Amino acid sequence: MTWRLVLDDKARCGAWALERIAHVPSWGEWFEAIGLERDGDLLAVVVYNLWSGADIAMHVAAMPGRRWMTRAFLRAVFRYPFVQLGCRRVTGYVPASNLDAQRFDEHLGFVREGVMREALDNGEDVILYGLLREDARRFWE
């Protein structure tokens, strides 16, 4: 079994993530993506977009289960925004009905910061999560 970080194929990773995140129609003009594959098949992808300098949006798409959540993958996906780009924070947008994603974000240390009422096309609310650089250091140090 061969695990590999995919750092150089944002088109493939972005398309894979779009298939699994129903409420996102596109990543916009600028995005980056990091994937994790096993034996050539993607298991998880993190996509970044809406970069403002201080903040960047972070979206996670993954196969069911937590086997994909390796230390190497977590290190890579948090080093990119905080170390490489120099962001002070990352922001997560989670549909209010996605309780698994809310628990996952909170497990990683994201803090619930607010609600964007009726933000999705179907009228559903979006929960806004934030993670500050100092709270994410444990992933790469």
How far apart CA 59 and CA 136 sit, in angstroms, is 16
pTM for the whole structure: 0.94
pLDDT per residue over 100-116, tens digit each?
999 999 999 999 999 99
Q: Count of CB atoms within 10 A of residue 100's CB? A: 9
pLDDT per residue over 43-62, tens digit each?
999 999 999 999 999 999 99
